[in-house]
A and B are shown apart, each in its own frame.
Chain A
């Protein structure tokens, strides 16, 4: 009798642990930030800043993205996830690698434990790549979103390999140039290649979907993909081999690519049928607005503007903060409440839909906490970048407090969702009489 095509969704145990770990990592990140207000006065190559960056990039952002991708890959690519087991194994390697790496950076232990951490992370990235590429190979139709997602996974692996080489270089010193030279490479491949491409690829599918808008013209997205990757590849080769003065040109290519993506979202959102933009989508639009800050700063840091060294150091720090604490954190804070409630709802209620009156995904978490989370986030972010620019530790501390409040509110809501239990449901009234 049933002809129902089964859903492509993976089991909840491959997805939900990532959300739990990421939320706890966000709390850890904000607490570490509270104890790092003294680290923002100088160069970015500082043990505390390296710890913060890697907890943010790996434990918070990459962890959550891995979990979300196992749920969203089947949506974007319209096929089943290649392997849930690989996803679970990758989770373990990513979690262990992140904790070890954070410990090593905080205590600046650059020996075997850090080697182990880096190897663990590279293994996690290899497993993730296998899962993404093999899933994409099953996709019935190849789209520009698939290009973004698969390429971003490859850039993640490249970022990890460069990181591993740098970790080995700490003890073996075999690289020809100084460490910060490769750190720039590592950071930019991670920021533009992994986070930016992935968020554009997934966002260009999900944002129109959530707005009930229809995207028709994908030329801008195609050019966005080409420009960002071209800028990144030119940058890598130039940085490694040629050392020309063309860095602002490569940065401009990436910026142009991002602007085309923002134009795509703007034009698509004009066709939207949903006017009830919820808090999750509002926060997503805040994130897209915040994306403009690193776009401006990447041009500044790549141009030789002869700024005072102290100001330039602060701008470098704000540039990094604007990516990890700005755009990436903001979009996660928004999109968590567009994806996680739905995932929890589906696993809890799919057997009851059509038989009982069920709550909706938006009924499973606290909107008031979410509103305050968004407010404290903006407050914390503005204070943090202001404090770093002014080199004022009290203002930085204010920003850290803002982030800690945000992390606590976010985590309470996330765990409320993760621990949700099905309540007593009322059957539909007609069903009682009609059956």
Chain B
């Protein structure tokens, strides 16, 4: 996960995005490693995120949900969410917390 924003603001963005749960896995998109990059340029907040597999039917839902949740949390910012496929998502991108949650489900 890369951030080009002040640390405190970045943490706030990530905490907000943790409200979005991948419906199949049951883990939030941050700990699943789907959020690749966030950047802030003036009042423009840009988020690059991916999905576990190309063609995932959740693409529209997750992208829209990310936009909506960030707009609600930061109503004064212009939010842009990009769906990216490079690098392809792999299980190594799951955070320690995500792995802990996955193991906790066994």
Q: B9 interface residue, CB < 8 Å from A? A: no
> When each residue 65-85 of chain B gets 1 if its CB lies under 8 Å from chain A and 0 otherwise, what string results?
111110011110011111100
Is B58 touching A346 in the complex (CB atoms < 8 A)?
Answer: yes
Q: How far is the CA of A428 from the CA of B83 in the complex (A)?
A: 24
Q: Which of B20, B60, B102 makes the CB contact (< 8 A) with A6?
A: B60
Q: Are B72 and A431 in contact (CB under 8 A)?
A: yes
B57 to A428, Cβ gap below 8 A? no
Decide: A5 and B21 in contact? CB cutoff 8 A.
no
Interface residues on B, range: 35 or more
Q: Please give the number of chain A residues whose Cβ is less than 8 angstroms from any Cβ of chain B in the complex.
A: 43
Contact A361 B24 (CB under 8 A): yes
**Chain B CB within 10 Å, residue with most, of A71, A212, A271, A362:** A212
Shortest A270–chain B CB gap in Å is: 12
Contact B91 A4 (CB under 8 A): no
Pairwise interchain contact B91-A74, C-beta atoms closer than 8 A = no
Q: Is B41 an interface residue (CB 8 A)?
A: no
- Do the beta carbons of A346 and B79 come within 8 Å of each other? no
* A360 near B61: Cβ-Cβ < 8 Å: no
Which residues of chain A are near B67, meaning CB under 8 Å?
1-2, 4, 354
Min CB–CB distance A250 → chain B (angstroms): 35
Q: Are B63 and A1 in contact (CB under 8 A)?
A: no
* A4-B60, A273-B91 known; A353 vs B83 contact (CB < 8 Å): no
Question: Closest chain A residue to B101 by CB distance?
Answer: A276
Binds B, one of A75-83, A233-241, A405-413: A75-83
User: A244 at the A/B interface (Cβ < 8 Å)?
Assistant: no
Residue of A nearest to B64 (CB): A4
Is there an interface contact between B24 and A78, defined as CB atoms closer than 8 Å? no
Residues of chain B with a CB closer than 8 A to A217's CB: none
Question: Which residues of chain A are within 8 angstroms of B20 by Cβ–Cβ distance?
Answer: 353-354
A4-B81, A5-B83, A350-B61 known; A360 vs B26 contact (CB < 8 Å): yes
Instruction: Note all chain B residues with C-beta closer than 8 A to A107.
Output: none
B44 CB, min distance to chain A CBs, angstroms: 10
Query: Known contacts being A274-B102, A275-B102, A276-B102, is A5 close to B57, with CB within 8 Å?
Result: no
Contacts of A428 in B (CB 8 A): 19, 69, 72
| Interface residue from B55, B78, B105 paired with A276 (Cβ < 8 Å) | B105
Is B86 positioned at the interface, with any CB of A under 8 Å from its CB? no
- Decide yes or no whether B39 CB sits under 8 A from chain A: no
B91 in contact with A3 (CB, 8 Å): no
Which residues does chain A contribute within 8 Å of B62, judged by CB atoms? Answer: 353
Bound Cα distance from A353 to B64, whole angstroms: 8
- The reply to whether A75 and B60 contact each other, CB–CB distance below 8 Å, is no
Hey, what's the 0/1 contact readout for A176-208 against B, CB within 8 Å counting as 1? 000000000000000000000000000001000
> In this complex, which of B68, B78, B80 has the most chain A Cβ atoms within 10 angstroms of its Cβ?
B68
A169 contacts chain B at the CB level, 8 A cutoff: no
Whether A366 is near chain B, meaning CB under 8 Å from some CB there, is no
B binding-site residues for A, Cβ under 8 Å: 16, 19-21, 23-26, 52-69, 72-75, 78-83, 90-91, 94, 99, 102-103, 105-106
A5-B63, A343-B57 are known contacts; what are 4 more A-B pairs with Cβ within 8 Å?
A8-B59, A74-B57, A212-B94, A430-B19
